[in-house]
Amino acid sequence: MELLAQEAPGSEQVVLSHHSADLALYSRIDPMPNCEDEEIVIPLKRAGKLLMIECEVDGKKGNFIFDTGAPYLVLNATYFRDYDLRNELYASGITGGQVALMTTRVDKLQVKNLWYNNVEADVAELGHIENARGVKILGLLGLNLFKSFVIEVDLSKATLKLTRCSKKGETKDLDPTKYDLVHKLGFLNNTIYVNCEVAGKRLTYGLDTGAEINVISSFSNKKVLETIKITGRSSLMGTGSERVEILYGSMKELYMGELMFENMQTVITQLEDMGGAYGFAIDGMLGYELFSRGKVVINIPKKEMMIRLFDNFRKQ
């Protein structure tokens, strides 16, 4: 899932764009990763606050968004129209509308020294993301490509590290005592979620590297919404023509276990349609605002997340 945040020149306005085609719920076989190394370190590039990886699909090289909010590989229809497209599906998203998408297969997807063969993929229009960020984007790398690894996102080094693990999520050289937080996470329908607390209320947040800004449901408890200092108003644009009005501002504090995150930029909008697409109710999304504050390790087999704060976010 992509939430694009862009400050309009000379104003306080924030423009948000959402791609909902990655939210369809249907079963798909996870592709088998091929790599001789136990550890793969992949450079991360940025377009705004979107995290991108250079990949190659059937000989075509370009930027893909690293997107844990998308369940599968998504290809930009602009560059993959000549593929065998079939099985039109519909996905719903944050703006409440529906968007059509097609499916196809790619012979080979390669990310550095890691590759996958015969990968199923969605094909959808991603031009709104390219227009918002002024960069060519071939697609999205969804979560099912990385479920066989322990995932480490370190924006201080601009790297994504993938480490092979056992079926129980065990790896060598991963010391939990070096992290500020070890926290349980949930996994359902190729969606990662974590329990957080805001204003004493327990909330379920999706964990989404494709979101440039955090999101909270407009139907949240009044005390939760009161923790957000509103700084502006704008619109949220889906892949189609649907738009919804949103408020945005800074959330005073969010707790994940004993760790408190202060002043995280957040938009307020309805999330009921997204919850319907995910298959369970969701209160918010944690995106770049979280990953920019520390090294984040996601261990899906172990259902565990670890965070080590960067020095500039540590309490003095």
What is the pLDDT at residue 237? 55
267 forms beta bridges with 215, 248
Q: Find out whether 139 and 77 touch, Cβ atoms under 8 Å.
A: no
Q: What is the pLDDT of residue 8?
A: 42
Going by C-beta distance under 8 Å and a sequence separation of 6 or more, which residues neighbour residue 139? 57, 64, 65, 73, 74, 75, 76, 80, 121, 126
CATH number of this structure's domain 33-152: 2.40.70.10
Q: Is 108 exposed, middle or buried (0-12, 13-18, 19+ CB in 10 A)?
A: middle
Two domains, one topology: 33-152 and 166-313: yes
Q: Looking at residue 10, what is its pLDDT?
A: 38
- Report domain extents, the chain: 33-152, 166-313
Write down the pLDDT at residue 12.
Answer: 41
Q: What is the pLDDT of residue 277?
A: 67
**CATH classification (class only), 166-313:** mainly beta
Q: What DSSP string describes the chain?
A: -EEEEEEPTTSS-EEEEEE-TT------PPPPPB-S-SEEEEE-EEETTEEEEEEEETTEEEEEEE-TTSSSEEEETTT-TTS--EEEEEEE-TTS-EEEEEEEEEEEEEETTEEEEEEEEEEE--HHHHHHHTS---EEE-GGGSTTEEEEEETTTTEEEEEE--TT---SS--GGGSSEEEE-EEETTEEEEEEEETTEEEEEEE-TTBSSEEEETTS-HHHHTTEEEEEEEEEE-SSS-EEEEEEEEEEEEEETTEEEEEEEEEEE--HHHHHHHTS---EEE-HHHHTTEEEEEETTTTEEEEEE-GGGS--
Low-confidence ranges of the chain (pLDDT < 50): 8-24, 239-241
Q: Is this prediction's pTM over 0.85?
A: yes
Question: In Å, what is the CA distance from 205 to each residue of 185, 281, 291?
Answer: 10, 10, 14
Contact 45, 52 (CB under 8 A): yes
